[in-house]
Amino acid sequence: MVIDLDNLIVRFKEKDPTAFDQLHGMYAENICGVINTIVRDPERAQELCQDVFVKIWHNAESYDSSKGRFFTWILNIARNTAIDEVRSKSHKNQKKNLHVDFFVGILEGQDNMDSKTDTIGLKKLLQNLKAKCTQIIELLYFKGYTQKEVSEELAIPIGTVKTRNRSCIGQIRENLKL
């Protein structure tokens, strides 16, 4: 990528609208994707995606690069927004009631769908990944579970979560190279 991300983020923090537009171009699809895995409603996911970027703009100065990646920051905002939405729809819903098998659901749906040409398909990314791998990734990155919560949910020792996650991400990185 030719874009100097650090410089872009500095300009964004100074409320430079062009920098904001560029960051939106870079991350909007990802953010919509994260929200969609939680709310499981593509249209609503797109609306919430807008909410997230409005929040990002208004909180621009609060981002601190020493405390994490920019993507991690907006990922966190997107997750919280989507989880709030799901909870407000059904008060009984707790984090653990969020559907864990969603990747699988999307995977089945995409078999009948023309994937966008510039997007690497989910099926390709997840090939050779065990079910435990997709679950751990989904919980940690998309649902905002802590290591402890993941160990309870998947009934694996807490020390295993970190290393298994690394090997699962490693598999996806391999798949990306294909």
Q: Where on the chain is the footprint of other proteins (CB under 8 A)?
A: 21, 24-25, 27-34, 36-37, 42-43, 45-46, 49-50, 53-54, 57-58, 65-69, 71-73, 75-76, 103, 106, 115-116, 119-122, 125, 137, 140-142, 144, 146-147, 162-163, 165-166, 169, 172-173, 176
**Closest separation in Å from C-beta 60 to other proteins:** 11
d(CA 122, CA 45): 18
Q: Per 3-state DSSP, what percentage of the chain is helix, strand, and coil (rounded to 5)? A: 75, 0, 25
- In whole angstroms, the minimum distance from the beta carbon of 8 to other proteins comes to 15
74: closest CA among 27, 40, 111, 33?
27
Q: Do 143 and 82 form a contact (C-beta atoms < 8 A)? A: no
Give the residue with the Cβ less far from other proteins, 92 or 166.
166
- Least Cα distance to 147 among 174, 130, 166 occurs for 166
CA-to-CA distance for 33 and 40, rounded, in angstroms? 10
Q: Cβ 91 to other proteins, closest distance in Å?
A: 26
In the complex, least distance from residue 92 CB atom to other proteins, rounded to whole angstroms: 26
* Choice between 98 and 172, CB closer to other proteins: 172
